[in-house]
C-alpha cells in the first residue's frame, strides 16, 4: 500500500524542532479539524471527523496528540504517535451545545502544558492554525499557561510542506491516477439529456471504487452555468452542444490531486474548438516555463502575455498556477510579481482558465512535480487529452 511511513512523521517532527529552536520556541501547538486538516495531518496523520484536533510538539520529548472522545478510537487508529489525550474543548465543532460524554477520560490544557513545562523553561510557544482556530479555543489555550509569549508558527509548517518527499509524491501520483479514472468515465458517458448530477456520479463512484480516501469536490457545470467558475453539479439537464467545465479533486492518504479538461456534450462548435485550443496552447506555454530555478512569475507572465496576444485578457481572472499537496490549493500561489523560484520536489497544479468568453468558460488543470529536468505530470489523462487535442482538435480518451 502506498502511504506515508512512520519514519517520515518522526523526521517531520525533528525538522520542526530545528525551526522551533531557531525561533526560541519551547513548544508548538498545531491545530486542525475536519475542514482545515493539513498541518495536523502533516505532523500526526490524524484527520478529525466533525471534531477538533491538535498535536503539541515540545522541543524535548515526544508529541502529544489532542482529540475528542467520539473520535478517540479513530485518532488512535490514524495517528503516528501513541500519546493521545482528550479535551472537552475539542468536541463536535458544528453545535453550540455542551455534549456530555460520561465515560470520557478528559485532561486539560493546563495539565498538559504544566507537564510540558515541568522545568519552567518555556518562554515562547508557537501556534500553527490561527487562521482556522475559533477565538474561544485560542483564549483557552493562551489562558492555560502564564508567563509565556504565544506566537504565530504557521510559517514553519508552510516552510516544511513546500517541497515533497518521495512518499508524498507517491501519494499524489496515486490520487491523480484515481482522478484520471473518474474523469475518463465522465468523458466516455456524457450525453445530452442527462443531468449534471448524473454525470458527476460516474466520477464520484469510479474514484471511490478505485481507492480514493475522499473526493473533496467535483466541480461540474454546463452550458451557461460554466460562467459560475467553481459551480457544483445540479439537476440541470445537459443540452446538445453544452460546454462542460469539470474538475475532480481526489484525496489519497491525505494528499489531493486535481484534473480538469474541457469537453462538450454532443456536437462541438468551431467556436468551442477555438476556445479549447486557446486553453491547451496556454497551458503548454506555462509548462515550458516550469523549470527548477525558474521564476514562478515568469510562468504567470507567459500565460498572461499569450492571452493578451490573443485578445482574451478580459476573460483571464486569476493566476494560472498554485501548489498542491495536503490541500487541493496551497502555496505557492504566484502572481506576475512573485520573486519565488521553482524548486525540485515542489508539487503544483496548473489552473489555466478563461471565464466569460463568448464560446464558454473553462480550465485545464493537472498536478505536476518539479523535477531536475523540468516537470513530470501526474495525470496521464490530461497529457493524453492535450496531445490529442493539438494533433486532432478532438476529445478522445482512447
Question: pTM for this structure?
Answer: 0.96
Please tell me what DSSP assigns to residue 4. Answer: -
Domain membership of residue 48 (yes or no) is yes
Residues 175 and 249 placed together within one structural domain of the fold = yes
**Could you tell me which residues come within 8 angstroms of residue 368 by beta carbon, excluding any fewer than 6 positions away?**
287, 290, 347, 348, 349, 350, 375, 376, 377, 378
Residue 75 pLDDT class (50, 70, 90 cuts)? very high
**59-68 contact pairs (CB < 8 A, 24+):** 59/17, 59/20, 59/21, 59/25, 59/26, 59/27, 61/116, 63/13, 64/112, 64/116, 66/90, 66/112, 68/92
Q: What is the pLDDT of residue 390?
A: 95
Same domain, 246 and 170: yes
Domain boundary among 111, 144, 160: 160
Looking at residue 98, its pLDDT comes to 84
Helix, strand, coil in percent for the chain, rounding step 5: 40, 25, 40
Q: What is the mean pLDDT of residues 317-321?
A: 95
Per-residue model confidence (pLDDT) at position 338: 95
User: From CA 42, how far away is CA 154, in angstroms rounded?
Assistant: 13
User: Is 330 inside any structural domain?
Assistant: yes
Average pLDDT over residues 254-277: 97
Q: What was the pLDDT predicted at 341?
A: 97
365 touches 386 (CB < 8 A): no
CATH of the domain at 314: 3.90.230.10
The answer to the question of residue 398 being in a domain is no
- Say yes or no: 112 and 205 in one domain: no
Shared-domain flag, residues 229 and 342: yes
Q: Residue 41 contacts by C-beta under 8 Å, 6 or more apart in sequence?
A: 32, 47, 254, 326
**Using alpha carbons only, how large is the chain's radius of gyration in Å?**
23
CA distance readout (Å), 256 to 174, 288, 375: 9, 24, 18
Q: Give 168's contacts (C-beta < 8 A, 6+ positions apart).
A: 4, 255, 325, 347
pLDDT over 90 for what percent of the chain?
94
Predicted local distance difference test score (pLDDT) of residue 232: 97
Q: Identify whether residues 129 and 187 lie together within a single domain.
A: no
Residue 248: the pLDDT is 98
Reported confidence tier of residue 119, pLDDT bands at 50, 70, 90: confident
pLDDT tens digits, residue range 130-142?
A: 999 999 999 999 9
Q: Which residues of 46-69 are buried (b: 16+ CB within 10 A; e: fewer)?
A: bbbeebbbbbbbbbeeebbbbbbb
Average pLDDT on 117-140 reads 93
In a domain, 397, yes or no: no
Instruction: Go through the chain and tell me how many residues it has.
Output: 398
At 6 the pLDDT is 95
Give the pLDDT confidence of 181-237 residue by residue, as tens digits.
999 999 999 999 999 999 999 999 999 999 999 999 999 999 999 998 899 999 999
Question: CA triplet 280, 283, 287: central angle to 5 degrees?
Answer: 140
In a domain, 178, yes or no: yes
* 82 in a structural domain: yes
C-alpha cell at 359: 464560446
Q: Over the chain, what is the mean pLDDT?
A: 96
How many Å from the N-terminal Cα to the C-terminal Cα in the chain? Answer: 28
Q: Is the pLDDT of residue 173 over 90?
A: yes
Nearest one of 162, 164, 153, 119 to 17, comparing CA atoms: 153
Do 129 and 207 sit in the same domain of this protein?
Answer: no
205 lies in the same domain as 97: no
Which ranges of 129-243 would DSSP assign to H, the alpha helix? 135-142, 154-161, 166-189, 196-209
Task: Name the nearest CA neighbour of 6 among 86, 81, 59.
Answer: 81
* CB-based contact 219:246 (threshold 8 Å): yes
Please say which residue of 160, 189, 205 terminates a domain. Answer: 160
Structurally, the chain folds into a number of domains equal to 2
CB 392: neighbour CB atoms within 10 A?
A: 9
- d(Cα 206, Cα 150) in Å, to the nearest integer? 46
**219 and 274 share one domain:** yes
Summarised one tens digit per residue, pLDDT across range 81-96 is 999 999 999 998 888 8
Q: What nine digits make up the cell of 103? A: 465515560
**pLDDT of res. 372:** 96
CATH classification at residue 72: 3.40.350.10
Q: What is the pLDDT of residue 253?
A: 98
Are 239 and 213 in contact, with CB atoms under 8 Å apart?
no
Residue 42 included in any domain: yes
Question: Residue 7: phi, psi to the nearest 5?
Answer: -60, -30
Residue numbers of the domain that contains 58: 6-160
Determine the longest span between alpha carbons in the chain, in angstroms.
74
**137 and 74 together in one domain:** yes
Q: pLDDT band at residue 303, thresholds of 50, 70 and 90?
A: very high
Residues 22 and 41 grouped into a single domain: yes
pLDDT tens profile 1-51: 899 999 999 999 999 999 999 999 999 999 999 999 999 999 999 999 999
Which of 117, 134, 160 represents a domain boundary (last residue)? 160
Q: Is 345 in the same domain as 295?
A: yes
Percent of the chain with pLDDT over 70: 100
Query: Residue 345 above 90 pLDDT?
Result: yes
Nine cell digits for residue 337: 510579481
Amino acid at each position: 500500500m502506498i502511504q506515508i511511513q512512520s519514519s517520515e512523521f518522526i523526521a517531520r517532527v525533528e525538522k520542526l524542532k530545528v525551526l522551533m529552536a531557531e525561533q526560541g520556541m519551547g513548544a508548538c501547538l498545531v491545530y486542525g479539524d475536519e475542514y482545515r486538516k493539513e498541518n495536523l495531518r502533516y505532523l500526526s496523520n490524524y484527520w478529525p471527523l466533525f471534531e477538533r484536533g491538535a498535536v503539541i510538539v515540545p522541543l524535548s520529548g515526544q508529541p502529544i496528540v489532542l482529540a475528542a472522545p467520539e473520535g478517540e478510537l479513530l485518532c488512535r487508529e490514524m495517528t503516528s504517535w501513541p500519546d493521545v489525550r482528550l479535551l472537552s474543548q475539542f468536541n463536535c465543532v458544528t453545535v453550540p451545545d455542551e455534549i456530555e460524554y460520561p465515560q470520557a477520560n478528559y485532561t486539560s490544557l493546563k495539565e498538559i502544558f504544566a507537564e510540558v513545562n515541568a522545568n519552567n523553561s518555556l518562554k515562547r510557544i508557537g501556534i500553527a492554525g490561527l487562521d482556522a482556530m475559533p477565538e474561544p479555543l485560542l483564549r483557552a489555550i493562551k489562558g492555560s499557561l502564564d508567563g509565556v509569549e504565544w506566537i504565530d508558527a504557521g510559517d514553519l509548517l508552510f516552510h516544511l510542506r513546500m517541497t515533497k518527499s518521495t512518499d508524498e509524491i507517491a501519494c499524489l501520483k496515486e490520487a491523480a491516477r484515481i482522478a484520471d479514472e473518474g474523469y475518463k468515465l465522465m468523458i466516455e458517458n456524457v450525453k445530452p439529456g442527462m443531468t449534471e448530477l448524473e454525470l458527476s456520479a460516474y466520477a464520484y463512484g469510479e474514484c471511490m471504487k478505485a481507492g480514493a480516501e475522499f473526493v473533496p469536490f467535483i466541480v461540474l457545470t454546463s452550458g451557461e452555468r460554466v460562467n459560475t467558475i467553481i459551480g457544483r453539479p445540479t439537476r440541470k439537464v445537459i443540452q446538445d452542444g453544452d460546454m462542460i467545465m469539470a474538475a475532480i479533486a481526489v484525496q489519497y492518504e491525505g494528499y489531493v490531486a486535481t484534473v480538469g479538461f474541457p469537453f462538450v456534450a454532443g456536437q462541438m462548435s468551431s467556436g468551442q474548438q477555438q476556445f479549447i485550443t486557446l486553453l491547451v496552447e496556454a497551458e503548454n506555454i506555462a509548462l515550458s516555463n516550469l523549470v527548477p530555478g525558474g521564476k514562478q512569475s515568469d510562468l504567470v507572465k507567459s500565460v498572461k502575455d499569450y492571452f493578451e496576444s490573443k485578445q482574451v485578457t478580459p476573460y483571464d481572472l486569476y493566476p494560472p498556477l498554485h501548489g498542491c499537496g495536503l490541500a487541493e490549493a496551497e502555496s505557492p500561489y504566484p502572481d506576475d510579481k512573485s520573486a519565488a523560484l521553482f524548486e525540485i520536489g515542489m508539487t503544483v497544479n496548473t489552473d489555466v482558465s478563461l471565464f466569460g468568453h463568448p464560446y464558454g468558460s473553462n480550465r485545464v488543470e493537472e498536478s505536476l512535480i518539479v523535477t531536475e529536468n523540468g516537470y513530470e505530470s501526474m495525470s496521464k489523462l490530461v497529457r493524453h487529452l492535450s496531445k490529442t487535442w493539438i494533433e486532432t482538435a478532438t476529445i478522445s480518451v482512447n
